[in-house]
Structure 1
């Protein structure tokens, strides 16, 4: 319970503290290269997320970062728990925005930071709006930004990985960018499996070999989704992965 209280106190306090930084990020020099802008913006949520993970008391192991190519990519990750985003923000050197449900736009300050980070909000209840959001996401990729998707569409809470929805894969095809599969294990142990209390966990992130842009473009989207899911499942089933 103490970790949960500290978490909410820190989260609320830091968000208010970050308002001046948010204003600076919004007013960054538009002439800066995309990669440089993204790294400057990424610095603040990365620091916030790193502290969140310290509060949780969790140990995070990351392997394979050298496999992430330069330039814009679509990062595809299994979705185990609510801690997936802060763990990935804290651990990956590659700046990224992510696809989020539209309901998160109601969260003050957090949603503003997400907009600055080039996150994309999708209304799953409105097919036309969802299609337009994916078109906007493809445009961000073409501009040089990277995006992360959780193609299961919901948290597994440490259970089996659900089938992958194909929308995010068509997004990568439309933008002509590589796909980077990432497996994550242990985040549900930090929260979901504890009656929604925060407890220390062993978390492992594995970056797998990317699927190059040419292969992404040429493959059928449904087959591509299945292939990437198999890569992630294979990574998770490796006996060496933390438990």
Structure 2
């Protein structure tokens, strides 16, 4: 059954983008014309719908807690633990609206998907190239400075240990929040790895719980507090897993 779910997922994943290719072109034309209102309208409608469809096709039950903790009047930096490829559609479907993500460069090479991600405001990073990583963080910082929220997975890669754990949270990603003074909003994701990676990269039905934690102010933080921020956020997330 898992193989059929996996095939159905890929058919849906690309099928949706092919069927809605006209919408993609319309959004790209709006971007070229500087009509950001139309771009945002199309992105906010189609990306969550596409993401929820992926979850439905593969039998994923999603529960979300703490949406009231998302700041309403300012851009923020969402920081989540990273267990699965599913984390991206999960957050695109569950937060207040879809936000740009700091994503690995391999995703930029996937046809159609890369174009939607660029419309969303995603930034692609080469993890093994220090200069490219710095440029990516600067690009993400500029997005937050423009008033848009952003999503980062500060572990830098998927954590492959036991459920309830997380890798080291790298400090570089938190500079986006510190430089802009944007609050950090921790997001704890539980159950995602069981949907795919734990089954030999085959889709498997299951339940995922996402908890959005209260924001952490970064404006006015001392140097000592900035240094402690990555581990403080990691411990807050670990306490919910």
Is this a same-fold pair by TM over 0.5? yes
Q: 1:149 to 1:190 in 2, by over 3 A?
A: same
Is 2:143 the counterpart of 1:116?
no
1:136, distance to aligned residue in structure 2 (A) = 1.1
- Taking a change above 3 Å as real, the CA distance of residues 117 and 32 of structure 1, as seen in their structure-2 partners, is closer
1:23-42 equivalences in 2 (<5 Å): 23-28=25-30, 30=34, 38-42=40-44
Q: State TM-score, norm by structure 1.
A: 0.90
Instruction: Find the residue that maps to 1:81 and give its secondary structure.
Output: coil
Per the TM alignment, residue 193 of structure 1 is displaced from its structure 2 partner at its CA by: 1.0
Which 5+ residue runs of structure 1 have no aligned equivalent?
237-243
Q: Determine the structure 1 residue equivalent to 2:134.
A: 131
Q: Which moved more, 1:73-82 or 1:17-26?
A: 17-26
* Aligned-partner SS, 1:214: coil
In the TM superposition, what whole-angstrom CA distance separates every residue of 1:3-24 from its partner, at most 9, and x where no partner exists? 1111111112112122211122
Q: How far did residue 27 of structure 1 move?
A: 3.1
Q: Tell me, yes or no, if the aligned pair for 2:23 and 2:42 is still in contact at 8 Å.
A: no
Separation of aligned partners in 2, 1:32 and 1:198: 35
Alpha carbons of structure 1 residues 56 and 146: separation in structure 2 relative to 1, 3 Å: same
8 Å Cα contact 2:83/2:192 also seen in 1: yes
Report the counterpart of residue 9 of structure 2 in structure 1: 7
Task: Tell me which residue corresponds to 1:241.
Answer: none
Cα distance in structure 2, aligned partners of 1:186 and 1:64: 17
TM-score (norm 2): 0.90
Query: C-alpha offsets along residues 177-213 of structure 1, whole Å, 9 cap, x if unaligned?
Result: 1110000011111111112111111110000001024
Q: Which residue of 1 aligns with 2:19?
A: 17
**1:151: Cα distance to partner?**
0.6
Cα distance change on mapping 1:158 and 1:190 into 2, 3 Å: farther
Is 2:82 the partner of 1:79?
Answer: yes
